[in-house]
Chains A and B, each alone.
Chain A
Amino acid sequence: TQLTQSPSFLSASVGDRVTITCRASQGISSYLAWYQQKPGKAPNLLIYAASTLQSGVPSRFSGSGSGTEFTLTISSLQPEDFATYYCQQFDSYPITFGQGTRLEIK
């Protein structure tokens, strides 16, 4: 299952509301996770099962969707949120990731 994220690059300001979309090439129910990765660091789980917030993740992060279209929303960007975001499907093998969305400070 191929995952396509849009946009690939996003420039935004602190306080902005941003949305990243992940589209699957076939239906994956709600078997989708979102990760945040900062430069030189390992990815960090944000959301799983499309909309469940991982423990310890700020509530400004939210996820939605099912089937083939999913979104990650950050309600009010904080300086520490500027990073690269990846979606991942776990509906079938091989497990696949989106190509990433790089979120930068405007």
Chain B
Amino acid sequence: EVQLVESGGGLVQPGGSLRLSCAASGFTFSDHYMDWVRQAPGKGLEWVGRTRKKVNSYTTEYAASVKGRFTISRDDSKNSLYLQMNSLTSEDTAVYYCTRVRSSDWNGNFFDSWGQGTLVTVSS
């Protein structure tokens, strides 16, 4: 069974930093692109970004709203995904979900497994 478990959320002051982690199990982590998706309280879903696989040199993609402030990384030896968030503002307050991308083919670019999410609150 695929499991994705996020951790690291919490309260942070504006301008601060936070690092989220996602522990994956039940599948071959290194075979999949992995993404972060967030959801502000009472709002819809917003894609944050992606890390590709080793064969793709672990390249990344980001939403414009986080580019230059957030960094996605992975450690295949630990089956873990990370999201380093810097220069946080109240607009970044959201539940952050770790997601598995079905396949690296263009027609597999959707999210077939989600973690339970971790809440990040940016407030003074």
Chain A contact residues: over half helix, strand or loop, or mixed?
loop
Chain B residues within 8 Å of chain A by Cβ, number? 21
Whether, in the assembled complex, B109 has its beta carbon less than 8 Å from a beta carbon of chain A, the answer is yes
Contacting pair A44 B114 (CB below 8 A): yes
Closest chain-B Cβ to A97's Cβ sits at a distance in Å of 4
Least CB separation from B102: chain A residue: A48
Whether, in the assembled complex, B14 has its beta carbon less than 8 Å from a beta carbon of chain A, the answer is no
Q: How far is the CA of A93 from the CA of B63 in the complex (A)?
A: 8
Contacting pair B107 A31 (CB below 8 A): yes
Residues of B103-124 contacting chain A, CB below 8 A:
106-107, 109-112, 114-117
Closest chain-B Cβ to A37's Cβ sits at a distance in Å of 8
Tell me which residues across on chain A come within 8 A of B64, comparing CB atoms: 94
Least CB separation from A55: chain B residue: B112
Closest chain-A Cβ to B78's Cβ sits at a distance in Å of 22
**A49-B107, A93-B61 in contact; A43/B114 too (CB < 8 A)?**
yes
Whether, in the assembled complex, A63 has its beta carbon less than 8 Å from a beta carbon of chain B, the answer is no
